[in-house]
Structure formats: structure tokens, C-alpha cells
Structure 1
Amino acid sequence: MLSREQIIEAAIGLLDAGGESVLTVRALSERLATGSGAISYHVGKRDDLLDAATEMVVTGALATKSGRAGKAPEDEIRVVALALFDAIAEHRWLATRLTLQIVRNPVGPVTVGIFERIGRQLAALGVPQASWFDAASTLVHYILGAISQNARIEGDTSDVEPGAEREEFLGAASAAWRELAPEDYPFMHAIVGQMADHDDREQFLTGIAIVLDGLTHLG
């Protein structure tokens, strides 16, 4: 008998293969060899299916990277951040849907799961309780913004192949920066080599470190 989990897993497969544009009830029905009524009964409408797929991927990623007793608060925050970074690297459609979940469903399991895992670490970092919401929101906003920027944006009409997208983009950008007049743009010329050769994951962690350093000075 077809289960809700099977439907959601099949939906994730379609999303991974072609993004949101290929996820239709008809396509999912054909993949599962079932009728649209079964999908509606178990999951609901298409938006419900997208939310369920987001929840399954995110909760699975966070569960895999579950916190361990005795871990330093900075390390636990990095674990959560990298779990989301890696999930979006694997599921490019997730960047848009995760942001929508945070904005539209503040009581949903995705939003509260992320905020709870991060928020529990703030007291140990010395952040005063009056600043917990702002501190957690700053971290979540940085995490989502940074990893969304690295992901292929849903609806992008670029002809660049996904595998070559990053290298080609950085090469074109660095070449354009080198064409700028050095006397007018000395900073851009100073960092052009760093931009062309940087590691996205390491840059992401550097940003986390900068935010955490700022939060420790709120007390």
C-alpha cells in the first residue's frame, strides 16, 4: 500500500532531477503508478507536498548531524549550519523552499527545529537572554542567505551547465574585475585572486565565525 513517506520521497526525486517546475501531481502520479486522489489523500495539494519534501530533507539532515553532549556551543552551531549547507548543495531546489518555510510557517517543524538547535547554544556563548531572538535570527538569516547564494536559484534561465556553473562564473567575474582601473578599485584588485580560488564551504564557516565573535560581545 502506498504510504505518505513513499509519495514524499518520490516527490524529492522529481525535485532533485528537475526542480520545482517538473513536480506536478500528474508527473508524480505517473512515477508512482497511482491516481491523483491517493496523493491528495496522503499529502494534500502541491504546496503541501513541497512543504513536506522540505521538512523531510531538513529534519533528516539535522537528525543525521544530531548534537552530542559536551560539544562546544560554537561547534554545535557549525554542525547545524553545515548540515543545512550540505543539504542544499545536494538538493538545489531546497534553498527557496527553506526560506519560504522560515518566513511563512514560524511554528512548523523546520523553523522551530533550526531555531531550537541554534538557540540552545546562545546562553553558553554568553549572549544575554534579552538578545536571544535577535542573535538566533541573525545566525539563521546569515546561514540561509549564504547557502542560498551558493545554490542555483530556482527559475534561473542561465544556459551554464550546473557542474560548470561555479567555475565559469568565477572565471568571468575575476576576469572582469582585473579589467577595472587599479587606481579606482584598489580593493577589488587586491581580492580578485582570493575570489577566484576561494572554497565556498570555508568561506561559509568564516562567516559563521565572524557572526559568533560578534554575538559573544553582546553581554
Structure 2
Amino acid sequence: MARRTEALSRERIVDAAVELLDTVGEGGLTFRALTERLATGAGAIYWHVANKGELLTAATDAVVGTALAAEPDGASPPDRVRAVALALFDAVDDHPWIAAQLSRGSGQVTTPRILESLGRQVRAMGVPRSEWFSVSTALVQYVVGAATQNAVNGTLPGPSTSREELLGAVAERWEELDPEEWPFTRAIAGQMRVHDDREQFLAGLDLVLTGIAALHPGT
């Protein structure tokens, strides 16, 4: 049994948890399901992970940690921000359950890890130390907020509903609004119908980065 417990590492348990979360969601992540997937006893799992909350935190941190490693060597700070931000966006899109974890602020390590990664680039851009907190937290709030909101928006109402159908339905509702009360919303309804989520995310990120550069022109 000791040899079996050693083989069952915390990393293997977390990887299995991520697979379960991807297939059956948070509600399906149980220690019983894990024991079946890993072909082991519950005691061996509890040896590495105390409870479901700790397991969710570890799974979230594992996926986010992989995304943060996307920072390219030799790139400029803004390009590093774009690479990390897009990797986070894609990670949350691929693992929608992360959205709930990040929205809850759960994860004793995950949120500071994101702040550390993006904050270092804010510092490298030459932002004064007195502005590090406000600039870096605003950047984190945009990246995490936009990524999680996209994951929430991507939750389709039924298995037969495609993204195109969902966007088309939203655009149609906008187009049917009163033209005097909702002129702007009606005007962009066509763009809602055909927009690309990743391009929209990067456009917003560029607005934030341009704002940082404008406020701190010496960067």
C-alpha cells in the first residue's frame, strides 16, 4: 500500500481532478469519482488532499500556472502581457469551471500568482512605484474579468445551440428594441452577431495598455 500511495502523487490527483471538472463540472468532482478514475482508495487521496475545496484550488492553480508560463522570453513588456493574458483567456475558455473559482476569489495562491505575473510587466513598463497597485490591479481585473465573463457567456442554453445561434438570437433581440430609446445598441447589433471573442478581448487589452502608456509616457 505504501508503494501505491507514493505512486499516487498530488500531481496525478490534480490532473485527474482537472479531467473530471472538464467533463462533468464542479458538481461531478467527488472523491468517489476520483477513486474510480485513479483506481485507488479514498485514503490514498486524502493523504495528499484534505478536501474538495483544496482540490479545486489546486486544480485552478495548476491550469492558471500553465497559462502564466506562456510569457515569451525577449519580448517587450506589453507583448508579454498580451501573451499571458491571451493564454489565460484561452485557459478559462477551455476550462469554464475556472471562471467560478476566479470569480469567487478562491485560491490562496492563484490570484496573487496572476497579479505577480502581470505586475512584473507593469513595473518593467516603467510605471512609477506609487502607481503599481492601481495599474496592476486594473490590468488584472480586466484580464480575469473579461476571461471569466466570456466563459459565462459561452455557456450555451442547450446542447443543440451553437455559438452562432446564440449570438444571432441576442443580435435579433437588440435589433427589435425601440429605435428611439436604444439607438446605439441597435446600431451595433450586427457586430454582436459576427464578432470574435478573442479579438474583442485583445482589443480591450490594447485599450488598457494604450492607457497605461498615455498616462506614463516615459515608459
Following superposition, the deviation at residue 143 of structure 1 comes to 0.9
In structure 1, the partner of 2:128 is 128
SS of the equivalent of 2:177 reads coil
The equivalent of 1:68 in structure 2 is 73
Q: What TM-score results when the alignment is normalised by the length of structure 1?
A: 0.88
- 1:111: how far off? 2.5
Q: Report the residue type matching 2:207 in the other structure.
A: I
1:89-128 to structure 2, matched below 5 A, reads 89-100=93-104, 103-105=105-107, 108=109, 110-128=110-128
* Structure 2, unpaired ranges of 5+: 1-6
**Post-superposition offset of 1:12:** 0.8
Amino acid at match of 1:118: L
Show the counterpart of 2:214.
217
Shift of 1:165: 4.6
Give 1:105 deviation, angstroms. 4.7
Instruction: Provide the rounded CA distance (Å) in 1 between the counterparts of 2:41 and 2:149.
Output: 37
- Please say if residues 15 and 22 of structure 1, whose CA atoms lie closer than 8 Å, have aligned partners that are also in contact: yes
* Paired position in structure 1 for 2:4: none
Return the alpha-carbon distance in structure 1 between the equivalents of residues 168 and 8 of structure 2: 48
Which of the numbers 196, 202, 218 marks the counterpart of 1:199?
Answer: 196
Separation of aligned partners in 1, 2:103 and 2:114: 12
**Number of residue equivalences:** 210
Alpha-carbon distance in structure 2 between the residues aligned to 1:189 and 1:104: 38
TM-aligned CA deviation for residue 126 of structure 1: 3.7
Task: Supply the AA of the counterpart residue of 2:14.
Answer: I
Q: Does structure 2 retain, via aligned residues, the 8 Å contact 1:96–1:153? A: no
Specify whether residues 46 and 153 from structure 1 end up closer, same or farther in structure 2 by C-alpha distance, changes over 3 A only.
farther
Give aligned-pair identity as a percent: 50
The alignment's C-alpha RMSD in Å is 2.0
The 2-side partners of 1:130 and 1:190 are apart by 41
Higher relative contact order (CA 8 A, sep 6+): 1
Distance 1:153 1:207 in 2: 17
> Is this contact kept in 1: 2:32–2:42, CA < 8 A?
yes
In structure 2, what residue type is equivalent to 1:31? Answer: R
The runs of 5 or more residues in structure 1 that have no matched partner are: none
